[in-house]
Amino acid sequence: MGVPSTLVDFSSNDYLGFSKSNTIFTRTAEVLKAENLETNGATGSRLLSGNHPLYEIAEDKVAQFHTIESALLFNSGFDANLGFFGAVPQRGDIILYDELCHASIRDGIKMSNAKAYKFRHNDLNALIALTKKKLPSTLRGDASRQRGYGAEVYIVTESVFSMDGDSPDLVSLTQFCTSNGYHLVVDEAHALGIFGNKGEGLVQQLGLEKQVFARLVTFGKALGCHGAAILGSQDLKEYLINFARSLIYTTALSPHSVATICAAYEMLENTSAQKQLKSNIAILRNKISEYLLNDFFIESQSAIHSCIIPGNDRVKTISNLLKQEGFNVKPILSPSVPAGKERLRVCVHSFNTAAEIGDLMSAISSCTTNNSPLEGG
């Protein structure tokens, strides 16, 4: 459904405003012309006719930006997670994943022949307890790798969770995985463009990229375009090319889509938008405290800030009240989130003004006090 253009955007994942960037739009056309690829479609899968030259250019650019050996482009983040989890973990392997991981991760895990167990959200102690409960003794500790035991363990999380906006303790989690010989997989869909010196993501901001087995980055959020990539070793890339069904059995991204990815990464290296976004996140966090809303909002350092308002009817009512005030803030309803955890999902952007952020938080404060829909049953 369409949203009136007069509403101030506090809803989209377009964190840096790249989706409307004239610079990226113009640069995309230049890239296509330079590569003599002014065509409309890829014409087939990458293993047939769709592997146009821009793919190699884009994958090299993405890998270099993320200081990793290789990158493999997929049509979407959903496709990337389906492809990775459906192909890499094998029968006998074990996957341990955060209970709030994205649906694409969970669906990919269902396609795997590995056993999978979820652990309490962002709780390393719960993960450690789960390894003791679910892993056979041969898979506890790095000694099992030295003995040549065949099975592998994959630990799966996100650097920024899409509904809560919070993050795990990646340093401690990485240390735990490294010391035990487990493969850490991190979805950075909502961290790309926000964290790091140039928006490289939280893994790189923390200097952990060499210790993470695989990362997912998606381009439909902060980069404002489309597609995704799995980042990892060259061996991982070659394996996925041969076994990831969501890569093999689908028409490739068009040259225009891949050229836009190239242009967006160039923009990411030469923009002040990320600095402005960080400033706006700080303004929003300060306003949450100023209006005494900390008990409503989940703690977040990211561009996503969730205000918990239990009850589908109540959160929809408040969303509509905010719309009347000129703000587009989407209600997230159960069963998309657990009953009792319904929320307003506030996304802050580089193009939001300090006045808009202040007015929004004032409006939320007014809606969540006294006789507001938040009170009572």
Q: What is the pLDDT of residues 107-131, one digit of tens each?
A: 999 999 999 999 999 999 999 999 9
Q: What's this model's pTM, rounded to 2 decimal places?
A: 0.93
Q: Which domains does the chain have, with CATH numbers?
A: 21-268 (3.40.640.10), 272-367 (3.90.1150.10)
Best CA proximity match to 126, nearest among 138, 117, 136: 117
User: Between residues 376 and 322, which one has the greater pLDDT?
Assistant: 322
Is residue 31 pLDDT above 60, yes or no? yes
Contacts of 74 (CB under 8 A, 6+ apart): 80, 83, 227, 228, 229, 230, 244, 246, 247
Which of 329-334's residues contact partners 24+ apart within 8 Å by CB, and which partners? 329/10, 329/11, 329/360, 330/11, 332/163, 332/306
139 pLDDT tier (thresholds 50, 70, 90): confident
Q: What pLDDT score was predicted for residue 27?
A: 98
Is residue 4 pLDDT above 70, yes or no? no
The full DSSP string for 229-275 is EEEE-HHHHHHHHHH-HHHHTSPPPPHHHHHHHHHHHHHHTT-SHHH
Q: What pLDDT score was predicted for residue 369?
A: 72
Q: What pLDDT score was predicted for residue 373?
A: 40
Q: What pLDDT score was predicted for residue 128?
A: 97
Q: What pLDDT score was predicted for residue 5?
A: 65
Q: For the stretch 262-297, what's the b/e string if a residue is b when 16 or more beta carbons lie within 10 angstroms of its beta carbon?
A: bbbbbbbeebebbebbbebbebbbebbeebebeebb
Is residue 374 pLDDT above 50, yes or no? no
| Mean pLDDT of the region 278-304 | 97
Contacts of 193 (CB under 8 A, 6+ apart): 15, 16, 18, 199, 221, 222, 223, 268, 274, 277
Q: Is 362 exposed, middle or buried (0-12, 13-18, 19+ CB in 10 A)?
A: middle
pLDDT, tens only, 171-211: 999 999 999 999 999 999 999 999 999 999 999 999 999 99
| Mean pLDDT of the region 162-178 | 97
375 pLDDT tier (thresholds 50, 70, 90): very low
State the average pLDDT for the chain: 93
Looking at the chain, the whole-number percentage of residues with pLDDT higher than 70 is 94
Find out whether 109 and 85 touch, Cβ atoms under 8 Å.
yes
Is residue 305 pLDDT above 50, yes or no? yes
Is residue 143 pLDDT above 80, yes or no? no
Q: What pLDDT score was predicted for residue 149?
A: 56
Q: What pLDDT score was predicted for residue 368?
A: 79
Q: What pLDDT score was predicted for residue 367?
A: 86
Query: What is the Cα–Cα distance from 61 to 64, expressed in whole angstroms?
Result: 5
Find out whether 325 and 288 touch, Cβ atoms under 8 Å.
no
Task: Pull the structure tokens for residue 306.
Answer: 């969730």
Best CA proximity match to 224, nearest among 185, 277, 186: 277
Best CA proximity match to 100, nearest among 143, 140, 157: 157
Is residue 145 pLDDT above 70, yes or no? no
Q: What pLDDT score was predicted for residue 9?
A: 97
The conformation of residue 299, written as its DSSP 8-state character, comes to P
